[in-house]
A and B are shown apart, each in its own frame.
Chain A
Amino acid sequence: MHASAPTRHHLPGDLAVWFFIFAELAVFGILFIGFGVARSLDPATFTAGREVLHPWTGLINTIGLITASYLVAVAVHRLRHRQPCVTPLLWGAIAASSIYTFGKLWEYADLYGNGYNLGTDTFFMFYFFLTFFHFMHVVLGQIILVVLAVKVKRGDYNGDDMNGMESGASYWHMVDLVWLVLFPMLYVLA
């Protein structure tokens, strides 16, 4: 069978994964709206908290995640069209996303070292809770990318059966989508 480009009315990945993705997006959406409500009640605390954060670290983290998403999207495209270098692209995505994980760990260490934690004020309660909740999703996404890289290397996906690859990629893009809202909300708008 010849591998084909995704056609109209093709949901990428497994249906169950999409229910999971929408459930995750609903949870994050409610938390983000909670952040917006809390900020509207006490904008001074949120502005003071935001000024403590490192916007350049947030920016570098964002660049890492968007780069990872790009590499995953290219990997899916290349696998579908039976082109080479899919595994290196996935390892590249894992490496790019590691910029985020190490950047976030550094930022946590820096903030804790300067006395900021979950109990500091409402802003930092939201900051640590939201970013760590998202951080755990990134780590799970990295584990999924490792599994995909190993399975592609083994030849488990051949361009005809894209379900597993598309499901993992969709989950990864969801993690990136959430960060696209979370980053400006914490580092610019607060």
Chain B
Amino acid sequence: MLAVYIALMVCTMTPVIAMQAGADASVLVWLVFALVIVKAVLLVDHFMEMRHAPIGWRFAAQAWAPVVVAVIAGFHAVS
């Protein structure tokens, strides 16, 4: 559980530090999208304990963030 917590912290801080360091915005955006999905899956599986849930419930809980991020990323790409 502690390893998941540390991973979540690293995934949270990375884009903000990269932004402050002046990272290229186009790269940063896709890094953020990827890290949000990683964080959401970690949280759902380990903190919510959905890895022990029936597969349908687990899939539904895990799918929320990727679906939302994919739609936002799609609009972001065309703007």
Contacts and interface: CB of A to CB of B under 8 A. Distances in A.
Interface of A: 6-12, 18, 22, 25, 29, 32-33, 35-37, 39-41, 43, 55-56, 58-59, 62-63, 66-67, 69-70, 72-74, 76-77, 166, 169-170, 173-174, 176-177, 180-181, 183-185, 187-189
Could you tell me the dominant secondary structure of chain B's interface residues?
Answer: helix
Contacts, number: 121
B72 A59 contact: no
Nearest to A59: B16
A21 B27 CA distance: 33
Contacts of A10: 52-53
Given A184-B36, A189-B76, A170 B19 contact: no
A22 to B, nearest CB: 7
Nearest to A18: B57
B52 to A, nearest CB: 4
Interface of B: 1-2, 4-5, 8-9, 12-13, 15-16, 19-20, 28-29, 32, 35-36, 39-40, 43-44, 46-50, 52-54, 57, 60, 64-65, 67-69, 71-72, 74-76, 78-79
B48 A12 contact: yes
A177 B43 contact: yes
